Amino acid sequence: MKTKFILLLNLFASQLIFQSSVPVFSELQSARMVGKSQFELTPMFSSVSGSDNDDKEHLQNEYGLQAIIGLSEKVDFRVRTEVITYEGGDYSDWGAIIGFGPKVSLIKDKLAVSLPLGTSLNEGFMNDWEFQPALLLTWPAITDKLDITLSPKYIWTFCEDCQNLAAVNIGLAISTDLTKWALRPEYGRLYDFGEPGHAGQFSIGFSRTFGGQKD
């Protein structure tokens, strides 16, 4: 039983790595917009594991940097790059990915949509593009001090032999002033509906906003 589980995890992990980008499936953002002409920078770390509810195995670590610039009060543009280190396997045990795309506010500070595209920076790690639309539903629990964000997403792969995936994340933004900085812990799960089990991620990021104050 354990051997079968490990084989399933390896298959799931290989699909996860070769398909994933921007990065694997974490968000580390909310529906709050950066603000016109402002710039937000977020270094981050994620740990990803696979599970079938009985057994659990660590799959990979992710080290990244996210930059967001405010194009207007309702539109941001995000660029994210990440290095992934993978434990085991018959292919490269590390890879670098990049993703970019807009975030559009639908309801101020409460509802937004993120529309990133991404791919690999090094040959042999991931050769196809992905589109990862996500809905950002944010509850401003304490004004400008605590946001709670639920972010379901669909991972659409431009690859004939790859399966599309779905994920959901829940994250916090904690600060004394969210317009200036935020600590961002997050947990999420990734599902391939054609396979048993799931992958889980725990991420932590720290955001700092630069530029003039919002109007």
Q: Do the Cβ atoms of 30 and 149 come closer than 8 Å?
A: yes
β-bridge mates for residue 73, sequence order? none
CATH topology for 2-210 is Porin (2.40.160)
What is the C-alpha to C-alpha distance for residues 122 and 104, in angstroms, rounded to an integer? 30
Dump pLDDT digits (tens) for 20-59. Answer: 333 478 999 999 999 999 999 999 999 988 777 667 778 7
Higher pLDDT, 10 or 27: 27
Confidence band, pLDDT 50/70/90 cuts, at residue 16: very low
Which pLDDT does position 3 carry in this prediction? 37
Give the pairing of strands 117-120 and 134-142: unpaired
Among 203, 141, 198, smallest CA distance to 171 is for 203
The DSSP secondary-structure symbol of 31 reads S
Q: What one-character DSSP code corresponds to residue 164?
A: P
**Distance between CA 33 and CA 96 in Å, rounded?**
27
> What percent of the chain is modeled with pLDDT above 70?
79
**Measuring CA to CA, which residue among 167, 138, 192, 159 is closest to residue 22?**
167
Mean pLDDT of all residues belonging to the chain: 83
pLDDT tens digits for range 170-179? 999 999 999 9
Residues 6+ apart with CB under 8 A from 65: 41, 42, 43, 44, 80, 81, 82
- Using one digit for the tens of pLDDT, what is the confidence trace for 174-211? 999 999 999 999 999 998 876 677 788 999 999 999 98
The three-class DSSP label of residue 111 is strand
Closest CA to 65 of 47, 78, 54, 52: 78
Of the candidates 16, 155, 22, the residue with the CA atom closest to the CA atom of residue 86: 16
pLDDT of residue 7: 36
Distance CA 41, CA 39 (A): 7
